[in-house]
C-alpha cells in the first residue's frame, strides 16, 4: 500500500465500503424499531382511551347502582336470569329515594345507547342528559337471585386502532330495596 503524505486528508475506499456495509445492516433494524414504537404508541393510546371510557362510565353506574332501590329494564323490574343489553337496544332505569330532614327526594337515572356506541345517562325528572362514554361496544347488566348484586360488563372499542378493545366487569352491591 502507498503511504499517505503527512498533509493528505480523507478516507480510503475500503473504509468507506466498511461504513456503508455497517449502515446497510443497521438500517432495517433501526427502521423496524421505529415502526414498532409508532405502532406501540397507537395501541397504547387506544388502550388508554378504552380504559378511560370504561372507567368514566363505571364511575357513574357505580354511584347510581350503590343507591339503587329499583332497577328497571325497559320499564319493567329487572329480574334474575333476564339481563339487560344496552347495545342491543335495552335501557336501564335506576331509581332511589333519599330522606333528608324528613323530606323525601326521588332520584332516577336512565341509561341507554345512541349512535351504536355512545352511552348516555339521563338524570332526574328534568332529564339532564350526559354522554358518559363514547366507544361502548358492550354494556350488559345482570342481577343475582337475591336482587342485591348487580354485575356490569362494559367494553370499549376506540375507532383509532382496529381490533383493539378493552373489557371490564364490575360487581356492585346495591343498598337494600327497603332503605
What residues does each domain of the chain span? 40-173
- Give the chain's radius of gyration (CA, Å): 29
Total residues found in the chain within this entry: 179
Q: For residue 61, what is its C-alpha cell?
A: 353506574
Secondary structure of 75-118 in the HEC alphabet? CEECCCCCCEECCCCCCEEEEEEEEECCEEEEEEEEEEEECCCE
SS3 category, 119: strand
pLDDT score of 179? 46
**Could you read off the pLDDT of 109-165 as tens digits, one per residue?**
999 999 989 999 999 878 899 999 999 999 999 999 888 899 999 999 887 556 678
Q: For residue 125, what is its C-alpha cell?
A: 325528572
**Could you read off the pLDDT of 89-105 as tens digits, one per residue?**
999 999 999 888 889 99
- Rounded Cα–Cα distance for residues 38 and 17 (Å): 32
pLDDT score of 94? 95
- Rounded Cα–Cα distance for residues 27 and 80 (Å): 61
Amino acid at each position: 500500500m502507498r503511504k499517505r503524505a503527512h498533509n493528505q486528508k480523507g478516507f480510503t475506499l475500503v473504509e468507506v465500503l466498511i461504513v456503508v456495509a455497517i449502515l446497510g445492516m443497521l438500517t432495517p433494524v433501526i427502521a423496524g424499531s421505529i415502526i414498532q414504537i409508532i405502532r406501540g404508541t397507537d395501541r397504547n393510546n387506544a388502550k388508554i382511551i378504552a380504559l378511560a371510557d370504561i372507567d368514566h362510565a363505571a364511575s357513574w353506574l357505580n354511584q347510581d347502582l350503590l343507591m339503587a332501590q329499583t332497577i328497571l329494564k325497559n320499564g319493567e323490574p329487572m329480574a334474575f336470569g333476564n339481563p339487560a343489553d344496552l347495545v342491543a337496544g335495552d335501557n336501564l332505569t335506576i331509581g332511589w329515594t333519599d330522606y333528608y330532614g324528613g323530606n323525601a327526594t326521588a332520584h332516577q337515572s336512565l341509561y341507554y345507547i345512541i349512535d351504536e356506541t355512545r352511552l348516555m345517562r339521563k338524570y332526574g325528572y328534568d332529564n339532564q342528559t350526559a354522554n358518559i362514554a363514547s366507544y361502548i361496544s358492550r354494556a350488559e347488566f345482570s342481577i343475582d337471585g337475591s336482587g342485591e348484586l348487580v354485575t356490569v360488563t362494559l367494553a370499549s372499542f376506540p375507532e383509532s386502532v382496529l381490533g383493539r378493545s378493552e373489557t371490564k366487569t364490575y360487581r356492585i352491591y346495591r343498598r337494600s330495596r327497603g332503605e
